[in-house]
Amino acid sequence: MRATREALCAHQLITWRGLGPAAALALCRAFGSFEAAFSEPLATAPDPLRSALRKCRSAARDPLPAVLTAPEVFLLALSDPDYPALLREIASPPPLLYGRGDPLTLALPAVAVVGSRHASGAGLDTARRFAAGLAAGGFAVVSGLALGIDAAAHRGTLAAGRTLAVMGTGIDRVYPRQHADLCAEILAGGGALVTEFPPGTPPRAGNFPRRNRIISGLSLGVLVVEAALRSGSLITARQALDQGREVFAVPGSIHNPLARGCHQLIREGATLAETTADLVAQLGGLLAFKGAEAMPAAATAGPPAGSEAERVLDAMGYDPLAVDTLVERTGLDAARLTRVLVELELSGRVENRGGTYQRLP
């Protein structure tokens, strides 16, 4: 497990009966950190939480759930420097993220792709193609691991980049169960699974609307592919608008009930999306200031000698090159290469020119 003392203190507060996520967030804001809630004078705590915090402080610590001791598991507390910068901006950020896989996936500039669980064949194909195009353009793709469009978006990303699945359960539960293989593929491809819910949390109905704010909160923009007028995808899109994110919608036939939600979003001001270029053109400018803020500090430093970034720059020369060509020249797999290219783009050493990459002087 990769976790700071701060994250472990957050876990203790969240899982203590009588406290929970909202109380843990309030305590963090009152004390300045989750760790300080266990050491600073109790009088600093808000009055309604003081009694429960006193009991939490004096109780013997329960052993961590076994899943949290696994080496591929990570915990990120709100006050940790590696907590996703965009997610920290939302009105009610999760006080703690439980994750499996590579936490650096959360630092990549991301776009959410969401839609109906009961999508048409054409809708599934559209989601896969958009996700693959976004991954090739340097974005991580975020979705909710649900049936239908979510699963198609995750799978469409796997060949070209990294995907991030936001779960409505504990990190030790897979819902729906038939997506156990998909979770394994996401992890094998360098992606990550994340949730705000402690281990053991089952798939309760109320968890999924809460999960949706994380999907949009992690992303620069949200693309909706097939959605009914009353659907979780529209909830995600409206949360994205509230968070100041860009919203895109794929239009469809006027005879398709699953197109009506997308058409309603377009009427409300969402950008009509026909190709990946529609998203990249609008979101590309945000990479300059949002992406640099979201990437770890190491990603903005010059590439050290012998690093993968230096290898990529040496392989590029100064002519525009496609990702496939760079895969051949560098020997890096597509997912790893995409991450390195994004880091170089954010540090001003490479420019993405409609799917090809140009080294800058």
Residue 360: predicted pLDDT? 82
Crossing angle of the two packed helices 276-286 and 121-136, in degrees rounded to 10: 40
- Domain boundaries 296-359, CATH class: mainly alpha
Going residue by residue through the chain, which has 361 residues, state the pLDDT in tens, using 9 for 90 and above: 889 999 999 999 999 999 999 999 999 999 999 999 999 999 999 999 999 999 999 987 778 999 999 999 999 999 898 899 899 999 899 999 999 999 989 988 999 999 999 999 999 999 999 999 999 888 999 999 999 999 999 999 998 899 999 999 999 999 999 999 999 999 999 999 999 999 999 999 999 999 999 999 999 999 999 998 888 899 999 999 999 999 999 999 888 899 999 999 999 999 999 988 888 878 865 554 344 444 444 344 455 566 888 888 888 877 788 877 888 898 887 657 776 877 777 677 887 665 677 888 7
pTM above 0.85, yes or no: no
CATH of domain 101-281: 3.40.50.450
In this structure, are residues 105 and 162 in contact, taking their beta carbons and an 8 Å threshold? yes
Per domain, the residue ranges of the chain are 5-64, 101-281, 296-359
In this structure, are residues 90 and 243 in contact, taking their beta carbons and an 8 Å threshold? yes
Tell me the per-residue pLDDT of 157-210, one tens digit each, with 9 for 90 and over. 998 899 999 999 999 999 999 999 999 999 999 999 999 999 999 999 999 999
